Amino acid sequence: MTIAMREQEIITLAGSFFTGKRAGKEILKGIGDDCAVLRYNDKWDLLATCDTLTENTHFLKGTKPELLAHKLLAVNLSDIASMAGIPLWGILSLGAPKTASAAFLTRFMAALAREADKYKLSIVGGDTVRCDALTLTLTLIGKVERGRAVLRSGAKAGDLVLVTGSLGNTFKSGRHLSFEPRIKEARWLSEKLFPSAMMDLSDGLCEDGRRLALASKLTMAINGDAVPCAKNCGLPEAITGGEDFELLLTVPKNRFSAEIKKRFEKKFSLKLTVVGEMKKAGKHPLLIDGKENDWTGYAHF
């Protein structure tokens, strides 16, 4: 009998083979975070990430190529944002079915070039291959000030848990194709609040919250009433739906204030909400209103 593996199990398996192999001082963080962090020079560290979009999993057949180009770049930029980084270069791998027309591919690449220009990054290479379903993969390289990459593993007991924006209803609203990655917001938060940990919300607050808590060897306690739910969206959907691509961060209590919240929301026209607190590790890595729950976020496998 074949037993399917969950995404985290596959990541753990990969880590057992690849983490530490030929690792030198230049590999600061490998498998297990939003980006790999690599030593570059005395001023900068490099960030490396990779994301794939596949037809019928991340988008439906017939989705406009402009929307696909936007999302492909945005999901990678969201990973760079989660480390408080600045994007630099991209490498595109395109798997196209026989039915993909020259007009479709031209519109896709033109749109990707426009999107890249917005962030002053360059697509510098890639690969093409024939596939049964349209498959788009982008590898993105960015940079962050040396020693300033924000990992998932730095949270401390007593830290506040914050999220940007509103959560949930991403597929019904179409926001999963049109969201804006929080590059500028993450840079600002990094400079003003010095978050102890941060990641982007791709698979839902409950799933990604567990990941951050486990990486930091703590428990994340969420206050359900505080979660900023999107319009026409209840709490279960807001924390399990996935593809929000907002920022989830932890901040020491003495660094956060009503004034900081006000300045952020005025500057970016975006909510910044305290939704919980990090606690000493307990039996379960995530609690909602003090209780265990069986809610899970989006699972690829």
Residue 247: both structure tokens together: 């920022």
CA 174/CA 170 separation, integer angstroms: 6
Provide the pLDDT for residue 1: 42
Provide the pLDDT for residue 22: 59
The label of the residue with tokens 């057949």 reads: 61
Q: What number of CA atoms fall less than 13 Å from residue 259's CA on the CB side?
A: 3
CA 244/CA 246 separation, integer angstroms: 5
List of residues 6+ apart from 195 with CB closer than 8 A: 84, 150, 154, 189, 249, 250, 251
For residue 249, give the amino acid letter: L
For residue 86, give the amino acid letter: I
Among candidates 116, 118, 111, which has minimal Cα distance to 140?
A: 116
CA 30/CA 46 separation, integer angstroms: 12
The tens-digit pLDDT sequence of the chain (301 residues) is 444 556 667 666 666 566 665 556 788 888 888 999 999 999 999 999 999 999 988 888 889 999 999 999 999 999 999 999 999 999 999 999 998 999 999 999 999 999 999 999 999 999 999 999 999 999 999 999 999 999 999 999 999 999 999 999 998 898 989 999 999 999 999 999 999 999 999 999 999 999 999 999 999 999 999 999 999 899 999 999 899 999 999 999 999 999 999 999 999 999 999 999 999 999 999 999 999 877 665 554 3
Query: 0.75 cut: is pTM over it?
Result: yes
Provide the pLDDT for residue 60: 85
Q: All domains of the chain, ordered by start, with CATH?
A: 26-145 (3.30.1330.10), 152-287 (3.90.650.10)
Provide the pLDDT for residue 301: 39
The label of the residue with tokens 């929080």 reads: 182
- Enter the DSSP assignment of 223: -
Query: Are 281 and 218 contacting, i.e. CB atoms less than 8 angstroms apart?
Result: yes
Which residues does residue 222 pair with via DSSP β-bridges, in sequence order?
Answer: 276, 288
